[in-house]
Amino acid sequence: MRIYKTREMARTDVFDYIEMFYNRIRRHSHLDGMSPEVFEAASK
């Protein structure tokens, strides 16, 4: 577990983790086989 001095430092690390490791292209079964990007575009 990491302890952050500020909330902003924690937010930055979480954002970096999501941007680097979250697969936006992979299809998700709970989205009817759509990728998160396609699902987001379709719901606008």
- For 1-44, the pLDDT digits (tens) are 899 999 999 999 999 888 777 766 666 677 778 777 888 899 88
User: pTM of the entire structure?
Assistant: 0.49
Q: Could you tell me how many residues make up the chain?
A: 44
Domain-wise residue ranges, the chain: 7-42
pLDDT for 28 equals 67
Residue 43 CA: distances (Å) to CA of 1, 12, 17, 23, 39: 36, 28, 25, 19, 6
pLDDT for 9 equals 96
The 8-class DSSP code of residue 35 comes to -
* Residue 30 and residue 36 in contact, taking contact as beta carbons nearer than 8 Å: no
pLDDT for 13 equals 94
pLDDT for 1 equals 84
The 8-class DSSP code of residue 26 comes to S
